[in-house]
Amino acid sequence: MENIIQSLLETDLYKFSMGQAIYHNFPDYTTTWTFKCRNKDVKFTKEMVDEIKNQILAYCNLTFKEDELTYLSKVTWIKKSYVDFLRLWHPRYEDFTIGTDADCGLTIETNGTWLNTSLYEIPTLAIVNEVYFRMAYDYKELIASFEEKLDEKIKLLSDKTYNIGAFSEFGLRRRLSAEAQELAVKKLKEANLGDSIFVGTSNVLLAKKLGVNPVGTMAHEWIMCVGQGNHKHNPAYSNWYALDYWVKEYGILNGTALTDAITTDCFLRDFQLTYSTLFSGVRHDSGDPIEWGEKMINHYKSLGIDPATKTLLFSDSLDFKRANDINAHFKGRAKVAFGIGTYIANDTKVPALNIVMKTTACNGQDVAKISDVAGKGMCKNPDYVDYLQRCIDWRMTHEKV
């Protein structure tokens, strides 16, 4: 099998945004990341695991090329000091532990500096996905069904069956293959999409190759590690620490805040006038999107901020039908945008994998996400999840607003 990851640019843009903030503020933080396959009926064979090891080893032999760093440096908020760091950086295979002791037949864990391990997540998941689908199925049949479905869904935008406004492709971590993702982005770029607007892709390499915008926001790891990795912090204030460091790093640039790392209600306690003004918008990633959007609009109004000046970015398990309904509901009341992943990058005649790789420890301490719905979190220590929930509950109950 050819090398799946062919460039260190082949990751989501937010990995570089967070990476720069990590480099400047938390260069000595360490993290543990743990892989999990949520599909109950998926089994990775020994041959698949061996191929995954080979692919990750090949990825670890990559270094940045100068034209890639030149491209990255053109992103408005990327600084020369971080680009210079990347010039020397490459992945370390020694940071990976890969085995078979799991129900699905595959275990992956990475340990090392946050600077390193953060950048491993997306390429690792892309490798696991592509190895699985190429070895478990007839890949030619899958890519044919992928292209057929892609053409059908593009037609739904072209003939204005659906109007989803501004949207981006976010599917790198769960794509069928590099070939499939490139095909999707290329066709979306070239198609007449009616009233819908294709903004770009989270895949930086693909954005460079196809001349579209690289797009991305912060991820849960930022809030979890900044807020919970320092043992002196009360984790119920994770969002305050995370937002504060983000503004110190970027000012008013790159400002889309993720709301659900420790529930949106707790997030809103910290997302007061200064941050609500500085950040250009917020991202939804769990819970009912309509309820969440209404909550955000009411929050902005309560602060005297016109919600129509802010972006509501939706990115949770979307397809064009859901995006169309959300867009219609909020049209004219706020700027609405969508990040759509698996539905664009891995929609075939067989079910997509539901795989994740999450931060499970920072600086030797457990970290956890408690999102707006059960089941999206991942932590090795239930006692820590209980502690975090009690901290949140105490703050929400006792803190004067």
Per-residue pLDDT reduced to its tens digit, 88-134: 999 999 999 999 999 999 999 999 999 999 999 999 999 999 999 99
Q: What mean pLDDT, rounded, does the chain reach?
A: 97
Tell me the pLDDT band of 377, cut-offs 50, 70 and 90: confident
Q: What is d(CA 148, CA 155) in angstroms, rounded to the nearest whole number?
A: 11
Kindly state whether residue 53 falls inside one of the protein's structural domains.
yes
- Can you list the alpha helix ranges (DSSP code H) found in 316-381? 320-330, 342-345
Helices (H), 303-372: 320-330, 342-345
Range of the domain at 19: 13-137+351-379
> Looking at the structure, do residues 32 and 119 belong to the same domain, yes or no?
yes
Torsion on CA atoms 290, 293, 298, 300, rounded to nearest 10: -170
Is the residue at 5 inside a domain? no
90: left (phi over 0), alpha (psi -120 to 50) or beta: beta
The answer to whether the predicted template modeling score (pTM) of the entire model surpasses 0.75 is: yes
Residues 357 and 303 in one domain: no
Question: Does some domain include residue 397?
Answer: no
Residue 103: CB atoms within 10 Å:
10
pLDDT digits (tens, 9 = 90+) for 20-40: 999 999 999 999 999 999 999
pLDDT in tens, 150-182: 999 999 999 999 999 999 999 999 999 999 999
Do 148 and 246 reside in the same domain of the chain?
yes
Cβ partners under 8 Å of residue 291, min gap 6: none
How far apart, in whole angstroms, are the C-alpha atoms of residue 214 and residue 168?
9
The tens digit of pLDDT for each residue in 275-331 reads 999 999 999 999 999 999 999 999 999 999 999 999 999 999 999 999 999 999 999
CATH code for the domain in which residue 185 is found: 3.20.140.10
**pLDDT category of residue 393 using cuts at 50, 70 and 90:** very high
**Are 180 and 235 found together in one domain?**
yes
Q: Residue 39, Cα to own-chain centre: how many angstroms?
A: 19
Asked if residue 150 and residue 81 are part of one domain, the reply reads: no
Task: Tell me, yes or no, whether 283 and 178 share the same domain.
Answer: yes
E strands in 206-347? 213-214, 256-258, 281-284, 311-314, 335-340
| CA-based nearest residue to 239, from 231, 221, 227 | 227
How would residue 374 be classed by pLDDT, with cut points 50, 70 and 90?
confident
Residue 230's pLDDT is: 94
In this structure, are 297 and 237 located in the same domain?
A: yes
Question: Is 210 a residue whose pLDDT tops 80?
Answer: yes
Same domain, yes or no, for 209 and 93? Answer: no
Confidence of residue 400 (pLDDT cuts 50, 70, 90): confident
Count of positions (residues) in the chain: 401
* The predicted structure's pLDDT at residue 254: 92
> According to the model, what pLDDT value does residue 263 have?
96
- On whether both 266 and 358 belong to a single domain, the answer is no
- For residue 197, is it within any domain? yes
Q: Please check whether residues 274 and 188 belong to one and the same domain.
A: yes
Please tell me what DSSP assigns to residue 260: -
Question: How many domains does the chain fold into?
Answer: 2
